[in-house]
């Protein structure tokens, strides 16, 4: 019977004896085997390759060759390594058996054989072969896996110095298995000296007490490189009850490096390499712990670069990035080793100072930090002058944990910025309360628009020539239920910061336009309404689109809308802003520059922008009648605007003196409490109906009459002077008090002042010096006795006095000099040239003739005997 079952295990019989082959077939096929037969060694090898038998029965003596040699050749084949080969031998002698095993045979059977047992024997051998194959597969998988995992292993028997190291362990150590004994001492040699004691101790406990260990330590590879390994070991007893120690050594160098990299990235800022918020918090907690123990202080400084956004917008992000890197280098260089500089993101840095004894130490360092910004940063061909604001909080007084310390430092930073930047502020309790209030305000502001809590007031602007209302400015108010009206200065900055200014700004624009249309519909003359736009609106919205849509929606003529921008708007990217302003101009609206003089706008920049009106900030107006500087700045702004063909509106006009000053210098319009506070829409309507306007004497007049101011503490002299001059048609103002004289000058357009030399409260020279500074166009005459001439020579030479009259006077000559003085004033008035680039008007309008002395000889020049 021939077994053709293809799944049946194949047995190859190689024997020249046909009878033996037949008996094998007859015996095995009924047992479920398939038998392939060949007669000689070479055919046997060919059949082996063809049929891949599960087992080979091989005769020892064949005519075609020796069975031992055939066995050897079969074993040499890759496919023949593990196949059971059973030698069939007629010689049951020891030598043949030994030769058979030597040639690689698995077993032998002596002829004549017991055929009945052959099947059992073959099955047994096949089971053994299968187990061996599985073992070999498992072994190679294990080796492969160990290589992949860089996992080596070792084994020692207690009491024996030599043991076993796997190939991978040799590879990890970089050692040659052929010439390196697998001893524990050799393993130890590869461990750096500082880590050897730990390993020895662990190994000893394992050996003596059976305590398993798991350690990470370093190993020095044979090539000298340092590797990190995870080393784990435990002990066991083998079947003979001997103690066996087994361990694995895994090379985790790569994982360690990646872990290190991940940890670095998680704790450092990628741009500057400085610690980030994460690491900073850790360090802060540690520093506070230590400070508690040593009773010292920790200071946290929060830094924000002033105008960093301007650098980014105008010089590009790569310059911005280089700047941040340069700042981090300077900050690190400014501090001690134990201190920390971290970057929180953007242009925010934190400096943490440890081991401080007093807050004053932190103050010194804060000053030092400001000092490190003095030198410009030379970056990509630009010299950037940067400053920073610093908020400081101190542990333990200002916070018990990292988060609260950063919060209080932030509050202090806010205060430093409010103080004008480029300075530092320490946190105080009052500041904290203010910050909390701010936070509360911020929450409430989110609801304000939805709850209809916002409203608009309007402040009239008045034309100084006609005295009539020429427009209004819309000013927002927040009426908080249960609290009252909150002024915009308190909530607009918050709205700016949070972005709420965008919806609020849109609402203001719509409400103001609608109100202007409503006034017109009620029959009032069409007056323009001005609306403030914030810098953030320009950055984040398409302002031109929004304005166009609002004009369409409300039906307001574009010429009746004025948009007020602050200088901070102009500090944004030049090209973008110029483009937006041109788009707005193309719509037909008016553009005015608010709070002019408080920012950084330069004349050359302004002249390229389509600005119609410059608003002079109220901070200049406040001291315009008392401070030479205030007066000079305001004059300069008016003159500059005039030269650029822009109109001027002065804000915050509260007194007649300020108004007179503005008229004298030909400002176009005013806005301020002197005329009206901001009022409601209906109140504006009432003012328009009533034709409310500036009183006649407050308007700008061209030269109508000559006003003369006489100042003398002696009333009788004043009367005599008045009598001498009253025929000439002057408006004569008299006062015995120099302070009152300044007030009169502020309120009246005086052309000539005559002042006595000796007065108890202020000398005539001091008064005229002030007049020169405040009103350089007024012609200044000093009145004195003969004997005083010598002492006032220098003053005359300095130019504070332009004419000099002596007492008693010749009436005709007095009249003549006063008339000449007025002619001179009027000449100057008619030719006041526009001022350029902030130059003071003095040089232009003061006639610097040598002083003329009436009645006596010329005073002697400085240095003359």
Binding footprint of ligand C2E on the chain (CB under 6 A): 459, 475-476, 487-489, 492, 505, 508, 532, 534, 564, 594-595, 618, 651-654, 671-673, 678
528 token code pair = 């323009």
Nearest residue (CB) to ligand C2E, 470 versus 532: 532
Burial class (CB in 10 A: 0-12, 13-18, 19+), 524: middle
Q: Output helix, strand, coil percentages for the chain, rounded to the nearest 5.
A: 45, 20, 30
Nearest residue (CB) to ligand C2E, 534 versus 601: 534
Contact assessment for residue 835 and residue 841, using Cβ atoms and an 8 Å cutoff: yes
Buried b (16+ CB within 10 A) or exposed e, 346-380: ebbbbbbbbebeeeebbeebbeebbeebeeebebe
Nearest residue (CB) to ligand C2E, 569 versus 774: 569
Alpha carbon dihedral 45, 51, 57, 61, in 10-degree steps, equals: -30
Nearest residue (CB) to ligand C2E, 120 versus 673: 673
Nearest residue (CB) to ligand C2E, 679 versus 819: 679
| Minimum CB distance to ligand C2E, residue 627 (Å) | 17
Nearest residue (CB) to ligand C2E, 616 versus 639: 616
Distance CA 150, CA 174 (A): 12
Backbone angles phi, psi at 709, to 5 degrees: -110, 125
| Minimum CB distance to ligand C2E, residue 513 (Å) | 13
Bond before 601 cis per omega within 30 degrees: no
| Minimum CB distance to ligand C2E, residue 828 (Å) | 30
Backbone angles phi, psi at 386, to 5 degrees: -115, 155
| Minimum CB distance to ligand C2E, residue 743 (Å) | 18
| Minimum CB distance to ligand C2E, residue 496 (Å) | 8
Distance CA 838, CA 629 (A): 12
| Minimum CB distance to ligand C2E, residue 783 (Å) | 38
Nearest residue (CB) to ligand C2E, 31 versus 654: 654
Nearest residue (CB) to ligand C2E, 488 versus 722: 488
Q: How many other C-beta atoms are found inside a 10 Å radius of the C-beta of residue 736?
A: 18
Nearest residue (CB) to ligand C2E, 9 versus 488: 488
Contact assessment for residue 476 and residue 448, using Cβ atoms and an 8 Å cutoff: no
The distance from CA 97 to its chain's CA centroid, rounded to whole angstroms, is 88
Nearest residue (CB) to ligand C2E, 176 versus 489: 489
Distance CA 818, CA 807 (A): 15
Bond before 596 cis per omega within 30 degrees: no
Q: β-strands 61-62, 731-735: how paired?
A: unpaired
| Minimum CB distance to ligand C2E, residue 437 (Å) | 18
Nearest residue (CB) to ligand C2E, 347 versus 651: 651
Nearest Cα residue to 395 out of 331, 304, 301, 303: 301
Bond before 25 cis per omega within 30 degrees: no
Nearest residue (CB) to ligand C2E, 570 versus 653: 653
Q: Give, rounded to a whole angstrom, the gap between the first and last alpha carbons of the chain.
A: 158
| Minimum CB distance to ligand C2E, residue 654 (Å) | 4
| Minimum CB distance to ligand C2E, residue 604 (Å) | 24
Backbone angles phi, psi at 164, to 5 degrees: -120, 135
Nearest residue (CB) to ligand C2E, 393 versus 532: 532
Buried b (16+ CB within 10 A) or exposed e, 500-519: bbbebbbebbbbbbbbbbeb
CA distances for 858 relative to 61, 756, 792, 797, 861, angstroms: 156, 19, 12, 11, 9
* CB within 8 Å of 382: residues ≥ 6 apart: 315, 319
| Minimum CB distance to ligand C2E, residue 346 (Å) | 24
Nearest residue (CB) to ligand C2E, 671 versus 784: 671
| Minimum CB distance to ligand C2E, residue 525 (Å) | 22
Backbone angles phi, psi at 424, to 5 degrees: -120, 155
| Minimum CB distance to ligand C2E, residue 454 (Å) | 9
| Minimum CB distance to ligand C2E, residue 739 (Å) | 23
Distance CA 634, CA 615 (A): 11
| Minimum CB distance to ligand C2E, residue 682 (Å) | 18
| Minimum CB distance to ligand C2E, residue 671 (Å) | 6
| Minimum CB distance to ligand C2E, residue 446 (Å) | 17
Contact assessment for residue 453 and residue 478, using Cβ atoms and an 8 Å cutoff: yes
Nearest residue (CB) to ligand C2E, 90 versus 487: 487
Give the gyration radius of the chain's Cα atoms. 52
**Strands (E) located in 306-432:** 340-345, 348-356, 377-379, 382-384, 388-395, 424-426
Nearest residue (CB) to ligand C2E, 163 versus 597: 597
Inter-axis angle of helices 764-774 and 628-643, nearest 10 = 30
Nearest residue (CB) to ligand C2E, 496 versus 777: 496
Contact assessment for residue 265 and residue 331, using Cβ atoms and an 8 Å cutoff: no
DSSP run (H or E) holding 799: none
**Strands (E) located in 346-468:** 348-356, 377-379, 382-384, 388-395, 424-426, 454-463
Distance CA 75, CA 104 (A): 7
| Minimum CB distance to ligand C2E, residue 674 (Å) | 6
| Minimum CB distance to ligand C2E, residue 566 (Å) | 7
Nearest residue (CB) to ligand C2E, 410 versus 651: 651
Residue nearest to ligand C2E (CB): 672
């Amino acid at each position: 019977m021939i077994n053709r079952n293809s799944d049946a295990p194949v047995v190859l019989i190689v024997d020249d004896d046909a009878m033996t082959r037949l008996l094998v077939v007859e015996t095995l096929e009924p047992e479920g085997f398939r038998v392939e037969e060949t007669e000689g060694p070479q055919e046997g090898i060919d059949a082996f390759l063809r049929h891949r038998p599960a087992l080979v029965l091989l005769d020892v003596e064949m005519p075609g060759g020796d069975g031992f040699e055939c066995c050897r050749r079969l074993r040499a084949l890759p496919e023949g390594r593990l196949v059971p080969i059973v030698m069939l031998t007629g010689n049951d002698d020891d030598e043949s058996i030994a030769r058979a095993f030597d040639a690689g045979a698995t077993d032998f059977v002596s002829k004549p054989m017991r055929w009945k047992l052959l099947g059992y024997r073959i099955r047994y051998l096949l089971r053994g072969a299968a187990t061996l194959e599985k073992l070999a597969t498992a072994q190679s998988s294990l080796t492969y896996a160990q290589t992949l995992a860089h996992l080596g292993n070792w084994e020692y028997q207690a009491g024996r110095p030599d043991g076993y190291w796997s190939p991978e362990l040799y590879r990890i150590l970089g050692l040659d298995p052929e010439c390196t004994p697998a001893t524990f001492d050799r393993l130890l040699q590869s461990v750096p000296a500082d880590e050897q004691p730990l390993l020895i101790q662990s190994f000893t406990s394992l050996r003596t007490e059976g305590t398993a260990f798991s350690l990470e330590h370093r190993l020095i590879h044979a090539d000298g490189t340092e590797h990190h390994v995870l080393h784990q070991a435990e002990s066991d007893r083998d079947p003979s009850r001997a103690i066996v120690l087994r361990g694995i050594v895994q090379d985790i160098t790569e994982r360690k490096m990646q872990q290190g990299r991940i940890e670095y990235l998680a704790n450092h800022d990628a741009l500057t390499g400085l610690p980030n918020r994460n690491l900073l918090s850790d360090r802060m907690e540690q520093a506070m712990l230590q400070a508690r123990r040593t009773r010292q202080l920790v200071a946290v400084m929060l830094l924000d670069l002033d105008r960093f956004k301007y650098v980014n917008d105008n010089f590009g992000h790569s310059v911005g990035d280089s700047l941040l890197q340069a700042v981090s280098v300077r900050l690190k260089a400014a501090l001690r080793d134990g201190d920390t500089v971290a970057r929180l993101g953007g242009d925010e840095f934190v400096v943490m100072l440890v081991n401080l004894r007093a807050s004053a130490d932190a103050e010194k360092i804060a000053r030092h930090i400001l000092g490190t910004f003095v030198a410009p940063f030379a970056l990509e061909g630009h010299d950037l002058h940067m400053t920073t604001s610093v908020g400081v909080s101190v542990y333990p007084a200002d916070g018990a944990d990292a988060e609260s310390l950063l919060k209080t430092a932030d509050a202090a930073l806010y205060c430093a910025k409010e103080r004008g930047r480029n300075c530092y502020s320490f946190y105080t309790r009052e500041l904290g309360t203010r910050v909390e209030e701010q936070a509360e305000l911020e929450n409430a502001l989110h609801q304000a628009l939805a709850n209809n809590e916002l409203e608009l007031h309007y402040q009239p602007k008045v034309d100084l020539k006609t005295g009539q209302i020429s427009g209004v400015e819309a000013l927002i108010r927040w009426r908080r239920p249960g609290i009252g009206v909150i002024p915009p200065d308190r909530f607009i900055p918050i709205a700016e910061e949070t972005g709420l200014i965008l919806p609020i700004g849109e609402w203001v624009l719509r409400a103001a336009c609608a109100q202007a249309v409503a006034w017109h519909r009620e029959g009032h003359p069409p007056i323009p309404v001005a609306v403030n736009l914030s810098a953030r609106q320009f950055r984040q919205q398409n302002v031109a689109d929004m304005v166009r849509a609002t004009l369409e929606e409300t039906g307001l003529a574009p010429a009746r809308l004025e948009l007020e921008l602050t200088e901070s708007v102009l500090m944004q990217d030049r090209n973008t802003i110029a483009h937006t302003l041109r788009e707005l101009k193309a719509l037909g609206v008016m553009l005015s520059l608010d709070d002019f003089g408080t920012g950084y706008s330069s004349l050359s920049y302004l002249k390229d922008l389509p600005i119609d009106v410059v608003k002079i900030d109220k901070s200049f107006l406040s001291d315009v009648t008392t401070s030479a500087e205030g007066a000079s700045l305001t004059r300069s702004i008016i003159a500059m605007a005039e030269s650029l063909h822009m109109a001027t509106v002065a804000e915050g006009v509260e007194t007649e003196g300020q108004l007179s000053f503005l008229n004298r210098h030909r400002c176009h319009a005013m806005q301020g409490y002197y005329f009206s506070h901001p009022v409601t829409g209906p109140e504006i309507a009432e003012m328009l109906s009533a034709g409310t306007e500036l009183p006649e004497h407050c308007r700008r007049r061209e030269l109508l009459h000559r006003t003369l101011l006489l100042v003398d503490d002696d009333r009788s002299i004043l009367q005599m002077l008045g009598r001498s001059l009253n025929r000439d048609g002057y408006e004569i103002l008299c006062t015995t008090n120099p302070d009152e004289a300044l007030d009169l000058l502020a309120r009246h357009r005086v052309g000539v002042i005559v002042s006595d030399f000796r007065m108890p409260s202020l000398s005539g020279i001091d008064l005229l010096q002030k007049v020169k500074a405040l009103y350089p166009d007024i012609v200044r005459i000093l009145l004195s006795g003969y004997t005083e001439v010598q002492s006032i020579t220098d003053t005359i030479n300095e130019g504070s006095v332009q004419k000099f009259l002596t007492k008693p006077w010749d009436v005709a000559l007095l009249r003549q000099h006063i008339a000449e003085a007025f002619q001179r004033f009027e000449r100057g008035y008619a030719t006041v040239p526009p001022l350029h680039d902030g130059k003071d008007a003095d040089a232009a309008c003061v006639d610097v003739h040598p002083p003329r002395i009436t009645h006596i000889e010329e005073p002697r020049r400085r240095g003359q005997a």
